[in-house]
Structure formats: C-alpha cells, structure tokens
Chains A and B, each alone.
Chain A
Amino acid sequence: MAEMWINMGPQHPMTHGLWNMRIKVDGETITDAEPVIGYLHRGWEKMTEDRRYPQIIPMSDRLCYGSSFTWSHVYCMAVEDLMGIEVPEKAKYIRAMSDELQRIGNHLMWLAAIGPDLGNLTIFLYALREREMFLDLFQSLCGARMTYNYCRIGGVRNDAPPNWDRDLVRTLDYFEKRMNEYEELVDRNKVFRMRMEDLAPLSGKDAVNLGITGPTLRGSGVKYDIRQNDPYEIYDELDWHMCTADEGDTYARYRVRMDEMRMSVQIVRDILKKMPKTGPIRVKPPRNAPVGTGMARMEDPRGESLMYVIGDGTDKPYRLSVRSPLFVILSASPVLLRGNKIADLPSILGMIDVCMGETDR
C-alpha cells in the first residue's frame, strides 16, 4: 500500500485540544508527521495591548486553563520586575504553595487524560475524583474552581480563610494514600507497561537541542528545573529535590510526573511549616508602569514558561510576549513519532500533556 497522509483532527476524540496532527503512514508505521496548530488562536497578545495591568490577570488565567495559576503567577512576576515592586514574605509562600497545588491538579488532569487514550476509563474517573478535592480547596480560598484570578501584582488577592490549612493537611494525607492506588493501577499493570516502555526514546542531547523543557526533558536524564537552577520566590529555602529519570522513553516521562506529584506534596507540607503566620499579603502597585522591560520565567507544570513585558509609561503595556513550553515541544513531536506505529501515537502524545490554550494563545 502506498504511503498516505492522514489527518488526525482537528475534530478528534484523542487529541486534547483543537489541533491537527498530520501523519504520513505506510501501513501501520508512521514515517513523517506535521502538527498544524492555530485553531484556538484568540489574539491574546494583541488583546493585552488595550487593557490595564490588573485587567490582564484574569486573561492570563485563561492562557492554559489546566494550569491557570502558574500563568498568572509568571505574568505578575514579569510586571513586578518591570515596576520594581517587592512582594511581601507571606505572599511569596502562599504563591509557591498555590503553584504546587496547581501542579498537582494539572498532573492529575494529565493522568486522567492518558486513561481513555490508552483504552482504560477507570483511571480517568479516579484521577478526576481526587482533582475535585484540590479544586474544592481552591474554591474556598479564592472563589473559583478553574480560573482563579488569585495572583495580584504585588502579592495575592486574600489570605486563606480560617481552617483552610487543616483542610489542606487532610487532603494531602488522603491524596498520598490514593497515589499508591494509582501506582497499583498503572505502574503495576503489565499492559500499561507494555504500551509505554521502550517507546520513543529521546536522548538528553537531542532534547536540549530541540528546546524541550519540563518533565519531558527531565525524563531524558537532563537535570534542569528552574525551581532549582534559577530560583524564584522562596524555592531556595525549601527542602526538596528534582525528579529525573534516565531512560528517556515514554515510561520515564510518565514516572517523572508521578514523582513530581509526590514531591509537590512534600513541598506543600514544608511550606506550611515555614510560612509566617501573620503579615501583609498585598502591596499596592503603581497605576502607571515605568518605561522599560520586565521578564520572568518559571517552571510551569509542562515546561518553562516565560513572559516579557514592555512598558511605556502609561497604565497599559506596550507589548506582552509569551513563551509557551508546549509550542516548542509540539514542534519537536515529529522527531518522537517517526518510526512508531499509529497505535503508539496516543501514548507518546499523551505523555507530553498537550494543552492547546497556551500553544495557540
């Protein structure tokens, strides 16, 4: 049979989000691939040129709705760099804690998404059941479940309500027990292992050359995590370590994310011990930004996210530029896909954790 190009998407039950994956198929083997994106482009960077600095924060939540707090966090850090504001101590701790809770929520959503990809709906419902607990925590903290609008230029919106850290500790204890269950369902399942092991190996050197960051990079053995290599907020004062895996195949990337979830639980417990009990949580930012530039980057659950702001003296930014980690990884996906079978496509792309909101902006 001759080689033919197949369109997977843009309407497809597997590709999370709205994009088109064109693959050149010879029988069952993929010989070439070409991702086509842009179906979700909303003109985000243009919209920000007409809005004041505080008004952009709920918009940045919607950049990637699966990990919304991290995007508003990186935006606030970029604007604070531009305006030269310092954030109070307690706000830094709260921001880092919300970051880690968001990371757990995002990785649970990823875990739920790989279930139906590989044919098992059970893990989908189990992971979402646990994610509900974290969404409830955020709901009692700031009032919304998915797009929090919680970070502010100069701190966070409000302090935690009474009894919130008691609920948090209970949630974390319950969650750690459930993590053991997931590992039983996925890790100790021969069929999952057969689908994921020795698949699409990526060497560390290739990954660095392609510009890949995040758990995908750490799954290939490269020790690079912005929380450790270029610490922001208070990560250099906490007691944790980076999660890497050496093999570079799909199972290694899966393993890195599961380890990251456990590490996030440990970080949150450490933060709860070290957080100051009282103190201001919010600083009044100036209305007009000085002329200049500000840049901030942080470790998004998917990779390295970066924002670059140019201010021009008024209360609206002149230009806001976003570096999305998934944009780079998706453009590197043909390298991962060549030579594998069509049936491997969901497992390879599932481990990358695609979210089109930040890729297309």
Chain B
Amino acid sequence: MYLDIWQLLTGLVHWLMVNIIGAILGWIGFHGVEHWLGTPGVLNFVTIIVVGLVVFIVGMLVSITLIWQERKELGRLMDRRGTQVGPIGLFQNFADALKVLVKEHIVPEAADSMVYNVAPVIIIGVSLMMMVTIPYSPGFYMSNSQLSVLLTLALFGVVPFAVLLGGWASNNKYTLIGGMRAAAQIIAYEVPLLLSVVGVVILAGSLNFFDIVAWQQSHVWLVLPMIIGAIVFTISMIAELERVPFDLPEAEAELVEGWGTEYGGMRFGLIMMSEYARGFIGSSMITLLFLGGWDMPAFLNFIPDGIWFLAKVFIVFGIIIWIRGALPRVRTDQILNLGWRRLLPLAVVNIAIAIAFKTLGWF
C-alpha cells in the first residue's frame, strides 16, 4: 500500500488551477489567462514543480531528523542524554539554524573571494539535487529515469572538487591540507563504491531503482547473495560521507575543522546540512540497492511502503552512528591503504560472484 503522489498532486493542481484560481480570474474577467491556465502543458509544468517541492521538503525533513537521531543515539551510547532542546530534543535543529543565520559572514582578506563563495554553493546544490532521484515508495518519487543509480553516484562524485576548491581558497595552511586529504580519500573510495554497485546491476539487470527493488521483491534481498558487495559498499559509503572512522579531512584534534575552518555563519550551516543530506542519500542507497527498498513480509502489509522504507533508512544510519561511537579515526595512509589494497579486490571478487550467479541461472 502506498501513496501515489503523482495522482494526488495532479488532481490537486488541476483543482487549484482550474476550479479556484480559474474561477477567480473568470469572475474578474481575464478569460484568456483562465483558459491558458487550464491547458495540459501548464498543468503538467506546475504539477512537476509542486511534486518536486513536496519530495524535496520531505527529504530535507528526513535529513534533519537524521541529525537528531545522531545526537540522541550517540548520547545514549556514551551514557549521557543527547540534546534536550524542546521535547526530547526535536527543536535542536531549528535552534542551530537560527543561530547560524544570525552570524556574520567573514571572508578572509587574502582569500580568493569568488572561489571561496562558490564552493559551498556547489556542495549544497549538488547534495540537494540528489534528493529528487531517490524513490520512497512506488508512488512517492520525483524522477523515474532509466539511469537513476548512475545519476546519483555521479552527483556524489562532484563534491570532492568543491571541497578541494573550498580548502584552497581559504588561504590557510590547515584547510589546504584538509582539502587535499579529503580529495585523496574520496577519490580513492569512489572506485570500490562503483564496483560494488556493478554486482547489483548485473543481477538485477537495470540501472533504475524501481527495477532493482522489483527484482528484490520477487527474488531475495540482494544483501544475501551480494554480502561482500554490501559490506564493501557500506564501508566505502562511510568513507564518502567523511564520517568517523574515516573523517581525517575534518579531524578536529589536529586541524580544527579541516577544510571548512574558515567558513562561518550560514555557509557553515549549509556545509553541515549537506553532510547529513549526503548521509541520507547514502543510507537510502544502501537500503534500495541491498536491503530491498520498500519490500516487506506479507503479514506487515498494513504499514505504508514509504514508512517502511524510512524505517530501514533510519536503521541503516543508526548502524553508521554506532560504528562512529565505537571506533577512532584511521590515519590517512592507512585509509588509502585500506581502500586500494583491500576493498578494491573484494569488490572485483564480488563482481565475479555476481557473474557466476547470473550465468548459473540461480537468480
């Protein structure tokens, strides 16, 4: 059971444009505009915008909830309460946003101001662009392109450039080191990430999220045959998200804040927001590719598909937070060592297993 948002919003937009606004305009006397508003082209256009807006807002709210989940879960893990602003801490994010909005925007004097201002824009723009490619249920989606997996992974990979630009443009030795480390790490972990997705694509036969989930609904969740691929994908995703244990670019103990040291005010807020937006996208990719998306056992059919999907995303992110609580930071050369020498061969082995399964005809 799922909520078909396209149907709902098409009907809503039609009713709004034709019956409400059209009626008002007709009563005023603009019949030409009223007629133009009812044409299918205009209706389609407005529907796309409204659906995009709704999906985007839901995605943002879920990302913010991920921030709340991290603070509370990390708190309980360390035997303390997490944040307590508002009832059980739910207002913390709004308090943070308000604080970040009222701060002064400082550009360092010798910094390259155009690149300095553009870098966070690129990061947050690309991160939020990915929100529209992720489907939550068979009815709640924005875009249904045939290459959605590839599109999402490509957008993931634009961010290291902007990180490097931001680190360099701040005219600070620390941020330069942080930016270089981040670029090296993310580029190193893109390769196992993509290779482990290849195994999934081989078995499911298409690059579309819907087809992959449909395959998992009819066969088995892909985490079982592709267990190595799932682990490699998860570890690479944690490295992509620059979280502990792989957060050397942002190592607080040595470089204060890494490449984002010189950013204050809303730019810093946007950088933090983009981290958690990418966290949401990453966890939902793990869910869609390996854990069956919105697939659930038949006796739980009364839960809507979208809610079940979001529950899985929260569980996956909870595991990522748990790893953060238990492990310290890994050193740069050890991170790169791990990426190139251990994860890459495992991903290739995974592809071989996928090919073997497909040719044997088991799946």
Q: Which residues of A contact B (CB under 8 A)?
A: 4, 6, 8, 12-14, 28, 115-122, 124-126, 129, 185, 189, 191-192, 194-195, 341-346
**0/1 string, B229-255, CB within 8 A of A gives 1:** 000000000000000110110011110
Q: In this complex, what residue of A is CB-closest to B247?
A: A119
Q: Which of B177, B253, B333 contacts A13 (CB 8 A)?
A: B253
Closest chain A CB from B94 CB (angstroms) = 25
Q: Pick the contact of B251 from A6, A119, A192 — CB < 8 Å?
A: A119
Nearest chain A CB to B85's CB is how many angstroms away?
20
Q: B252: nearest residue on chain A (CB-CB)?
A: A13
* Known A189-B328, A341-B331: A118·B253 in contact at CB below 8 Å: yes
* B331 to A, closest residue via Cβ: A343
Nearest-Cβ distance from residue B62 to partner chain A, whole angstroms: 25
With A4-B173, A14-B254, A345-B254 in contact, is A122–B332 under 8 Å at CB? no
How many angstroms from the CA of A129 to the CA of B78 in the assembled complex? 10
Can you pick out 8 interface pairs between chain A and chain B where the beta carbons lie within 8 Å of each other? A6-B174, A28-B332, A120-B327, A121-B325, A122-B78, A191-B330, A195-B329, A195-B331
Give the CA-CA distance A164 to B330 in the complex, in Å.
Answer: 44
Q: Which of B174-190 contact A (CB under 8 A)?
A: 174, 177
Other 4 A-B pairs with CB < 8 A, given A122-B77, A129-B79, A192-B328: A28-B177, A117-B253, A119-B245, A120-B328
Q: Could you say which of A8, A120, A121, A343 contacts B332, with CB atoms under 8 Å apart?
A: A343
A129 CA to B77 CA, complexed, in Å: 13
Q: Determine the chain B residues whose CB is within 8 A of the CB of A6 once the complex forms.
A: 173-174
Say which residue of A13, A28, A122, A344 sits within 8 Å of B326 (CB atoms): A122
CA distance A119 to B258 in the complex (A): 13
The winner among B80, B327, B333 for most chain A CB atoms within 10 A is B327
Q: Is B256 interfacial (CB 8 A cutoff)?
A: yes
Establish whether residues A343 and B328, one from each chain, have CB atoms under 8 Å apart when the complex forms: no
B7 contacts partner chain A, Cβ-Cβ < 8 Å: no
B218 within 8 A of A: no
User: Interface residues of B toward A: which range?
Assistant: 20 to 34
> How far is it, in angstroms, between the C-alpha of A126 and the C-alpha of B79 when the chains are bound?
8
The smallest beta-carbon distance between B155 and chain A, in angstroms, is 28
The 8 Å CB contact of B79, one of A13, A115, A125, is A125
**B359 at interface (Cβ–Cβ under 8 A)?**
no
- Kindly count the residue-residue contacts between A and B in the assembled complex, taking CB atoms under 8 Å apart: 82
Residues of A within 8 A of B256 (CB): 12-13
Q: Which 5 A-B pairs have the closest CB atoms?
A: A119-B329, A120-B328, A118-B328, A14-B253, A125-B78
Nearest residue (CB) in B for A6 is B173
Query: Taking CB as reference atom, which chain B residue is nearest A196?
Result: B328
Q: Which residue of A lies closest to B327 (CB)?
A: A191
Decide yes or no: A125 and B326 within 8 Å by CB, A4-B173, A28-B332, A194-B334 being known contacts: no
Measured CB to CB, the closest approach of chain B to A4, in angstroms, equals 7
User: Which residues 76-101 of B have a CB within 8 angstroms of A?
Assistant: 77-80
Please tell me if the beta carbons of B326 and A119 are within 8 angstroms of each other in the complex: no
Contact B245 A191 (CB under 8 A): yes
**Chain B 311-329: CB-based contact to A (< 8 A → 1; otherwise 0):** 0000000000000011111
- Residues from chain B with a CB closer than 8 A to the CB of A122 are 77-78, 325-326
How far is it, in angstroms, between the C-alpha of A345 and the C-alpha of B255 when the chains are bound?
A: 11
Cα distance, A159 to B238, chains bound together (Å): 55
What is the chain B residue whose CB lies nearest that of A129?
B79
Given contacts A13-B256, A14-B254, contact A344 B331 (CB under 8 A): yes
A128 → B minimal CB distance (Å):
10
B328 engages A119 (CB within 8 Å): yes
Asked whether, in the complex, the Cβ of A346 is within 8 Å of the Cβ of B253, the reply is: yes
- Cα distance, A252 to B164, chains bound together (Å): 38
A121 to B177, CA, bound (A): 23
Cβ contact within 8 Å between B328 and A195? yes
| Residues in B156-195 with C-beta less than 8 Å from chain A | 173-174, 177
Contact A343 B248 (CB under 8 A): yes
Which residues of B sit under 8 angstroms from A194, Cβ to Cβ? 330-331, 334
Tell me which residues across on chain A come within 8 A of B328, comparing CB atoms: 115, 118-120, 189, 191-192, 195
Q: Kindly report which residue of chain A lies nearest to residue B257, judged by CB atoms.
A: A13
CA distance A115 to B80 in the complex (A): 16
Closest CB-CB distance, B262 to chain A, in whole Å?
15
B331 to chain A: closest CB distance in Å? 4
Assess the B244–A126 pair: CB atoms within 8 A.
no
Closest to B330 in A: A191
One of B78, B248, B331, B334 near A121 (C-beta < 8 A): B78
- CB neighbours (8 Å) of B325 from chain A are 120-122
The distance in angstroms between the C-alpha atoms of A14 and B174, with both chains bound, is 14
Determine how close the nearest CB of chain A comes to the CB of B74; give it in whole angstroms.
8
**C-alpha spacing A313/B307, complex, angstroms:** 84
* Residue from A116, A185, A341 within 8 A of B253 (CB atoms): A116
- B residues 254-286 touching A (CB-CB < 8 Å): 254, 256
CB pair A342 B177 closer than 8 Å: yes
Cβ distance B216 to chain A, nearest Cβ, rounded Å: 32
Residues in chain A near residue B251, CB distance under 8 A: 119, 343
A119 to B323, CA, bound (A): 12
Contacts A122-B326, A191-B330, A192-B328 given; does A342 touch B78 at CB 8 Å: no
Docked CA distance A192–B329 (Å): 8
Q: How far is the CB of B235 from chain A (nearest CB, A)?
A: 12
